[in-house]
Amino acid sequence: MLAPAVAKAAAQAPGLDEHGLPKTVFLPPPVPLSGTGPVIGIDLGTTNSCVALLSNGRPLVLRSREGYNTIPSVISLNAQNKLLVSHRAKNQLVLRPQHTIYGAKRLVGRPYDSAVVNQVRERFHYDIVPDSAGRAAVRLADTALSLEEVQALILRECKEMAEAHLNQKVERAVVTVPAYYSEPQREAVRKSGILAGLKVERILNEPTSAALAYGLNRELNKKVLVYDLGGGTFDATILKIEKNVFEVLGTGGDVFLGGIDFDNLIVDYLLARFQEKEGITFTGDGIALSRVSDAAERAKMGLSERSTFEVHIPMLMMDDSGRPRDLRVVLSRQELEKICEPLLSRTIDVVRDVLLDAKLKAAEVDDIILVGGMSRMPLVRDKLKSLFGKGAQASVNADEAVALGAALYSGSVDKVSSVVLIDVLPMTVGVAMPGGAFKRVIERNSPLPAQRSFAINTTKDNEAFLELSIFQGEDSHISANEYLGTVRIEGLPKGPKGSVRVAVTLKLDSECVLHVEAREYSTRKEVKATLATRYSPEELQKQLQVSKESVKAAEERRGADLKERAGGFWSFVKKALGRK
């Protein structure tokens, strides 16, 4: 049975309109877009977003109303039920954590019932609920909102900043996404754009965008590493830049490794010191915990500039006798580095793997580009220096590079351009076999566009159609991978079982969008193949005759992997908050 809060929201879960777009709550229904006018570049980040555009041929980062170069990717409902976006919304994070949506980028385009969503649900203060199609949505007060709408509200803020700057309507954008984003996640970004009144002209991978900001029109001939450690995720990408050709040689990352994980470890440490000093265990509520998280983040950022930082939280909680207790700890950079060392070592392990994928030695990488707020931590630079024997490029602004690259690329949307981007497939795409085994079709790190063909037969006499379920991921079993949809192949000629053969081709275009084609062997005629069906996990398991044991084993493999990544902090928090 669903918990009451979830049941209530699920009853009014966001559905889709006749165009397949999520129905909106705060935004007006989308209107047709003209497809003309200026194109802006948007870095739609997990923690912060940044908007840039070309001004006299040079990329320019726009300032928010409050005067900042980036805006928090946060929306919130205040006590008067007024919707707030960006800076004003972030201010609500400590006061109204349950009514403040952050980190939507991690959830968008994911099934509600997926390992990632389950994991995130435990860590976030707001409710995550299923929409009518079984994908993750969020609950704000009594309303269920699609994640596309949450992202659209942030995109709309970016659009309005550009309109205020240009003094004209803006309806087109180049939007960046993490290199590892799957197909449905990219599709969700396009939908968010439409809801915000923006046609997404091109989806650009973040590391490629950062490399564009660094190397476009500079006549370079270099191999570069883009090390991107942001608020929620980490990725490392090696690109070859040859004049204006940007080719990804290898990419890898961790969707559960970002600033928030560092903050959590610091919270752990601060609360242990509090216990040591005050002789009592922290039993504060969610708001008290948010205050500690906030202080931990400030200490972490402060220690990038200086060697010590005093954390003082007055009246953090009341003790048994009703006496208020403060948290007061002086944290040194050395202590912080010791706390953060295991997480940073994990980023270095990923970098080593990417070097292997790219078939390069560390010494063959010419330049290092740092992206993401967390890369400001001095220990990041130290670790990279000891691996590569050289320092990172100082000319690249870690917060703005991705948006600047998108703005530069926006200049080539309407004209034939000399810029060539060659990306790679972030995760293997393959098909489900009877029993649930995953057959790999296009391997991860294949250069895009990519295509592979394979043959399938009918298994019944006069079979009118065949179905093929497509997944993306690296596990040998489909249950631990992401379901992209089921292709239905129709219009087959009649014949005894096994006699009708179909050549199926999976094609990924340069923006990683999946297309499927099917050709019947004997007539060589193309037959209809549409990737429109989505089955529930139960339906799929029944159709493919997947045993419960193999699903359990795959889920355990994945669950153990995610748990290991999350660290021990959340079990501590749940204990502190008295939750199971």
Among 127, 148, 183, 228, the one annotated catalytic? 228
Cβ partners under 8 Å of residue 477, min gap 6? 436, 437, 438, 550, 551, 553, 554
CA 511 from chain centre, in angstroms, equals 16
The answer to whether 555 is a known catalytic residue is no
* Residue 374 or 468 with smaller CB distance to ligand AMP: 374
Q: Nearest distance from residue 391's CB to ligand AMP, in Å?
A: 17
Q: Nearest distance from residue 141's CB to ligand AMP, in Å?
A: 27
* Residue ranges binding ligand AMP (CB under 6 A): 45-48, 230-231, 259, 297, 300-301, 304, 372-374, 376-377
Q: d(Cα 286, Cα 273) in Å, to the nearest integer?
A: 19
- Token pair in block for residue 224: 């570069």
Q: Nearest distance from residue 374's CB to ligand AMP, in Å?
A: 4
Per-residue H/E/C for 250-263: EEEEECCCCHHHHH
* Residue 93 or 377 with smaller CB distance to ligand AMP: 377
Q: Nearest distance from residue 51's CB to ligand AMP, in Å?
A: 14
Residue nearest to ligand AMP (CB): 259
- Residue recorded with tokens 């010494």: 363
E strand intervals along 197-280: 199-205, 221-229, 234-242, 245-254
Q: Nearest distance from residue 320's CB to ligand AMP, in Å?
A: 34
* Residue 143 or 397 with smaller CB distance to ligand AMP: 397
The answer to whether 468 and 428 have CB atoms below 8 angstroms apart is no
Q: Nearest distance from residue 372's CB to ligand AMP, in Å?
A: 4
The answer to whether 196 and 339 have CB atoms below 8 angstroms apart is no
The answer to whether 228 is a known catalytic residue is yes
**Residue 161 belongs to what H/E stretch?**
helix 147-166
* Residue 10 or 161 with smaller CB distance to ligand AMP: 161
- Taking CA atoms, 556 is separated from 346, 549, 580, in Å, by 22, 10, 20
- Taking CA atoms, 52 is separated from 149, 159, 409, in Å, by 22, 10, 11
Among 90, 105, 223, 240, the one annotated catalytic? 105
Backbone angles phi, psi at 545, to 5 degrees: 55, 55
Q: Nearest distance from residue 79's CB to ligand AMP, in Å?
A: 27
* Residue 215 or 373 with smaller CB distance to ligand AMP: 373
Please provide the size of the chain in residues: 580
Q: Among the residues of 40-130, which ranges form H helices?
A: 87-90, 92-95, 104-107, 115-123
Q: What angle do CA 75, 78, 83 make, to 5 degrees?
A: 45
Q: Nearest distance from residue 230's CB to ligand AMP, in Å?
A: 3
Q: d(Cα 328, Cα 485) in Å, to the nearest integer?
A: 53
Backbone angles phi, psi at 117, to 5 degrees: -65, -40
* Residue 337 or 520 with smaller CB distance to ligand AMP: 337
Q: How far apart are the first and last CA of the chain?
A: 17
List residues bridging with 504 in a β-sheet: 454, 518
Radius of gyration of the chain (CA): 25
What does DSSP say about strands 482-490 and 526-533: parallel, antiparallel, or unpaired? antiparallel
* Residue 14 or 373 with smaller CB distance to ligand AMP: 373
Q: What angle do CA 552, 554, 560 make, to 5 degrees?
A: 95
Question: How many Cα atoms are found within 13 Å in the side-chain-facing hemisphere of 313?
Answer: 25
* Residue 59 or 230 with smaller CB distance to ligand AMP: 230
- Token pair in block for residue 254: 């961790």
Q: Nearest distance from residue 129's CB to ligand AMP, in Å?
A: 25
* Residue 47 or 541 with smaller CB distance to ligand AMP: 47
What does DSSP say about strands 83-85 and 465-472: parallel, antiparallel, or unpaired? unpaired
* Residue 131 or 335 with smaller CB distance to ligand AMP: 335
The answer to whether 105 is a known catalytic residue is yes
The answer to whether 90 is a known catalytic residue is no
Among 201, 206, 367, 399, the one annotated catalytic? 206
The answer to whether 47 and 399 have CB atoms below 8 angstroms apart is no
Q: Nearest distance from residue 50's CB to ligand AMP, in Å?
A: 8
Q: In this structure, is the dihedral angle defined by the CA atoms of residues 240, 245, 251 and 257, taken in order, positive or negative? A: positive
Q: d(Cα 129, Cα 10) in Å, to the nearest integer?
A: 6
- Token pair in block for residue 260: 């928030």
The answer to whether 484 and 182 have CB atoms below 8 angstroms apart is yes
* Residue 22 or 230 with smaller CB distance to ligand AMP: 230
Q: d(Cα 20, Cα 534) in Å, to the nearest integer?
A: 13
Q: Nearest distance from residue 43's CB to ligand AMP, in Å?
A: 9
- Residues taking part in catalysis: 43, 105, 206, 228
